[in-house]
Chains A and B, each alone.
Chain A
Amino acid sequence: MRHLLNTLYVQTQGSYLSLKTDNIRIEVDGRPPQMVPLHHLEGLVVFGNVMLTPFLIHRLAREHKPVTWLTEHGRFMARTETPVSGNVLLRVAQHGCACDASRTLAVARFIAAGKLQNQKTTLLRSAREALNDDPELLREAARGINGQIGCLPLAQTVDEVRGIEGTAARLYWEVFPLMLRANRDFFWLTERTRRPARDAINATLNFVYTVLANECASAAQGVGLDPQVGFLHALRPGRSSLALDLMEELRAVVADRAIITLINRQQLTPRDFVLHEGNTVTIKDEARKLILAHLTERRKEEVTHPLTARKTPLGLVPHVQARLLAQHLRGDRAHYPPYLHR
Chain B
Amino acid sequence: MLDFLVCYDVNTETSAGRRRLRRVAKVCTSHGQRVQNSVFEVSVTDVQLLTLRERLLAEIDPTEDSIRLYRLRQPRDKFVEAYGRDRYVNFSDPLIL
Residues of A within 8 A of B (CB): 3, 6-12, 15, 20-23, 26, 28, 34-37, 39-41, 289, 292-293, 296-297, 300
Given the known inter-chain contacts A15-B97, A289-B96, please indicate yes or no for A39 contacting B29, CB distance below 8 A: no
**Pairs A-B, 9 closest by C-beta atoms:** A22-B30, A296-B94, A40-B91, A293-B94, A8-B95, A9-B96, A21-B30, A21-B29, A10-B97
Chain B residues with Cβ under 8 A from A28's Cβ?
97
Contact residues, B29-83 vs A (CB, 8 A): 29-33, 43-45, 48
Chain B residues with Cβ under 8 A from A300's Cβ?
92
Chain A residues with Cβ under 8 A from B95's Cβ?
6-9, 36, 41, 296
**How far is it, in angstroms, between the C-alpha of A273 and the C-alpha of B48 when the chains are bound?**
44
Q: How many residues of chain B get a CB closer than 8 Å to chain A's CBs?
A: 19
Given the known inter-chain contacts A21-B26, A21-B30, please indicate yes or no for A9 contacting B97, CB distance below 8 A: yes
Looking at the assembled complex, report how far the CB atom of A31 sits from the nearest CB atom of chain B, in whole angstroms.
9
Count contacts between A and B, CB distance < 8 Å: 62
User: Are B91 and A37 in touch, CB under 8 angstroms?
Assistant: yes
User: Are A40 and B43 in touch, CB under 8 angstroms?
Assistant: yes
- Nearest-CB residue, chain B, relative to A288: B96
**How far is it, in angstroms, between the C-alpha of A249 and the C-alpha of B5 when the chains are bound?**
42
Say if the beta carbon of B16 comes within 8 Å of chain A: no
20 A–B pairs (Cβ distance < 8 Å), ordered by A: A6-B91, A6-B92, A6-B93, A8-B95, A8-B97, A9-B97, A15-B97, A22-B29, A22-B31, A23-B29, A26-B97, A34-B97, A37-B29, A37-B30, A39-B31, A40-B91, A292-B96, A293-B96, A296-B93, A296-B96
User: Are B96 and A39 in touch, CB under 8 angstroms?
Assistant: no
**How far is it, in angstroms, between the C-alpha of A36 and the C-alpha of B87 when the chains are bound?**
12
Residues of B within 8 A of A (CB): 1, 26, 29-33, 43-45, 48, 89, 91-97
Q: Find B31's partner among A37, A289, A296 (CB 8 Å cutoff).
A: A37
Looking at the assembled complex, report how far the CB atom of A218 sits from the nearest CB atom of chain B, in whole angstroms.
16
Other A-B contacts than A22-B29, A293-B96, 11 sampled, CB-CB below 8 A, are: A3-B45, A6-B93, A7-B95, A8-B97, A12-B97, A21-B29, A28-B97, A35-B33, A41-B95, A296-B96, A300-B92
Chain A residues with Cβ under 8 A from B92's Cβ?
6, 40, 300
Chain A residues with Cβ under 8 A from B31's Cβ?
22, 37, 39
User: Are B30 and A23 in touch, CB under 8 angstroms?
Assistant: yes
Chain A residues with Cβ under 8 A from B29's Cβ?
20-23, 35, 37
Given the known inter-chain contacts A3-B45, A22-B30, please indicate yes or no for A34 contacting B91, CB distance below 8 A: no
User: Are A37 and B97 in touch, CB under 8 angstroms?
Assistant: no
Among A12, A36, A41, chain B packs the most CB atoms within 10 A around the CB of A36
- Nearest-CB residue, chain A, relative to B34: A35
